[in-house]
Chain A
Amino acid sequence: MTTDSAQMMGTQEAALAVAEGVVDAPARARFAGSTNRGWRRKLALFAIYAILLIGGLGMVFPFVWMISSSLKMPADIYSLSLIPPRPTLANYREVLENTKYIRWFLNSLVIALITTASVAFFDSLTGYALAKFSFPGRSVVFVLILSTLMVPTEMLVIPWYMLSINLHWTDSYWGIMFPGMISAFGVFLMRQFFTGVPDDLIDAARIDGFGEFHIYWKIALPQVRPALAALCIFTFLGNWNAYIWPLIVTRSEDVRTLPVGIAFFSTESSSAFHLIMTAASMATVPVLLVFLIFQRQIIKGIVLTGLK
């Protein structure tokens, strides 16, 4: 893996190379030369390992404590022991029985999946049109979409709420989803990456007689797959964890998303922290598992979007 600067290459490949470098090259070829002074170097390296390990354990400690608390009997909840003195799954049974956890989980899943699919399709389509077609008004459209990035969501929440009331969208999946169905950030991202796709490729396909939609779908889109994957990851995580809008637009328990449901349940359980920690575990552990499985792709995707 070469590590020439992204600026020097200035292409999509450069961004990809950096992303790969962060994830795949465990350590780039260190230049041992002048810094290698035997034991001093080793000692410094050992210190770095030690500090990073302590810091890293600190980073995950809240999760360890959360899971540990969720497995404790109510009477043991104040024990400092990480390993529950009398481990139990009763808290999980209680949360499952007293909340609509499964319903909330499915709500979140369906909403995040539909939103992600919509964002992936419309954002790539728009990004492609803006990058590869020259038509009157193109820069106006681009600036218009880009300018919406500057508007904070909080400003729009009040008009969205009024709109939802008037059109009876409150308490529905659509009501939760509609503001996020297309993302300006994604349009920008996809446009950046489609710009790197060679025009020759598209022209050749036109000469071969393929239709414009076919060219977008079958020829251009596969070229930007890493960026598209990154956009999907971002969109999914964002919607899965979204809080303020789902909180505002839902009233009934049945359409709550997982974060909103957990928030209400935790507030209502006041200080029953064995149950609150169980609910928190049930909300975070599935995401953590998915993250651990796909961590390389996810981190690569984050790098990729951060570079553009």
Chain B
Amino acid sequence: MRLTLERRRWLWAYVFIAIPLLFFLAIRIGPAVYAFWVSLHRWDPIAIDRPFIGIDNYRAMGSDKVFWHAVRNTFVYVILGVPVSLVLSLGIALGLQQLLRFVGFFRVLYFIPYVTSLVAVGWVWRWMYMPNGFFNEVLASIGQGPLKFLGSPQTALVSILVVTIWQGLGFQVIIFLAGLESVPTMYLEAAAVDGASSWQRFRDITFPLLNPTLVFLLVTGVISNLQVFTQIRTMSSGGNGGPLNSTISLVLYVYQLAFQSMPSKMGYASAITFVLFAIMLLVTLAQLKLFSRNTNDY
């Protein structure tokens, strides 16, 4: 029997997507379902007995002090980190847009941290933050300090946050530049002719037209800040989440529970990842709803 032309094309499409579809089922969707199954057990991979305990793992979070510490810190990373980096990067992008020469040079300067490994630069910052590192030597030379930076529960989190912002800034600057580039010059010109000040032009024309860019950076920024791990593990002594757990994040706590604690608490760790998933989902949906009034055509 000869296949119709249409059927033959269907067949080709199925051939094209077969391996990727199997991959996503086996490597993404299957494991996600399995992770939920694990979260309903007391699960130590080397133990023979892995009892089913229902939602006890989820209940246990209520009275787990370290968990709440991690939640609190993770929210600080998001609520402090995302707005600060967005304001900074928008400011830098607006400045870069005014330049007539050397734009490429400046762009490269700001973008460099984004391409480098967080592990390597995390160690560089850790070195600069040391009691006898660069910052304290500079402070000492003007008769100040020393500051403990990573060594004190009051400052450790902010010290790590600075590195997180520094590393992601270049990406946001570039995306803002692209957003600014797509604001039609003629609107700005018309407003200028009508006597609008540069602040008015920014507030009433540029900023509203930047909305899609802002939503994109907000969503990606929040999601990546909810998942901070590498910089904390690198910069907290012993990778433990800092003095008095002052820097521990949800992901670092998950890692410790599943891969460092003895016996391993993979069930509990899995349960926490589902809480993280729920937070990510809620935050993303809320942001899209709040901010995407005119982004449908983007």
Contacts and interface: CB of A to CB of B under 8 A. Distances in A.
B175 A302 contact: yes
B178 A19 contact: yes
Contact of B166 (A26, A31, A59, A65): A59
Contacts of A222: none
Q: Which of B14, B100, B117, B216 counts the most A-chain CB atoms under 10 A from its CB?
A: B117
A242 B298 CA distance: 31
A65 B13 CA distance: 53
Contact of A30 (B100, B115, B171, B284): B100
A3 B181 contact: yes
Contacts of A5: 182-184, 209
A70 B67 CA distance: 39
B99 A283 contact: no
Contacts of B19: 122, 182
A277 B124 contact: yes
B120 A280 contact: yes
A60 interface: yes
Given A135-B9, A151-B28, A280-B120, A34 B182 contact: no
| Residue among A78, A126, A130 with most chain B CB within 10 A | A126
Contacts of A148: 24, 28-29, 32
B117 A283 contact: yes
Q: Main secondary structure on chain A at its contact with chain B? A: helix
B266 A158 contact: yes
Q: Identify whether the interface residues of B are mostly helix, strand, loop, or mixed.
A: helix
Interface size class of B (residues with CB under 8 A): 35 or more
B101 A26 contact: yes
Contacts of B138: 80
Nearest to B213: A306
Nearest to A1: B181
Given A259-B119, A263-B234, A129 B16 contact: yes
Contacts of A144: 21, 24, 29
A55 B107 CA distance: 11
Interface in B246-298: 251, 254-255, 258-259, 266, 269-270, 273-274, 276-277, 280-281, 284, 297-298
Contact of B17 (A26, A30, A49, A141): A141
Interface stretch (A85-93, A94-102, A160-168, A223-231): A160-168
Contacts, number: 310
B32 A151 contact: yes
Among A52, A141, A158, A296, chain B packs the most CB atoms within 10 A around the CB of: A158
B112 A60 contact: yes
Contact of B181 (A22, A60, A161): A22
A45 B98 contact: yes
A60 B105 CA distance: 12
Given A3-B181, A34-B195, A276-B127, A155 B29 contact: no
Contacts of B98: 27, 45, 48
Interface stretch (B58-66, B77-85, B129-137, B147-155): B129-137
A178 interface: yes
A182 B115 contact: no
Interface string B161-192: 00000100111001101100111110011001
Contacts of B143: none
Contact of A182 (B20, B34, B238, B258): B20
B244 interface: no
B29 A35 contact: no
A136 B10 contact: yes
A276 B124 CA distance: 8
Contacts of B123: 262, 266, 276-277, 279-280
17 contacts: A4-B182, A34-B195, A35-B198, A63-B112, A66-B127, A133-B10, A133-B16, A135-B13, A138-B13, A155-B274, A158-B35, A160-B27, A165-B45, A241-B117, A262-B119, A276-B123, A288-B115
Interface of A: 3-8, 10, 14, 18-19, 21-23, 26-31, 33-35, 45, 48-49, 51-53, 55-57, 59-60, 62-63, 65-66, 69, 78, 80, 122-123, 125-126, 128-130, 133, 135-136, 138, 141, 144-145, 147-148, 150-163, 165, 178-179, 181-182, 184, 187, 212-213, 216, 237, 240-241, 243-244, 248, 258-260, 262-263, 266-267, 271, 273, 276-277, 279-280, 283-284, 287-288, 291-292, 295-296, 298-299, 302-303, 306-307
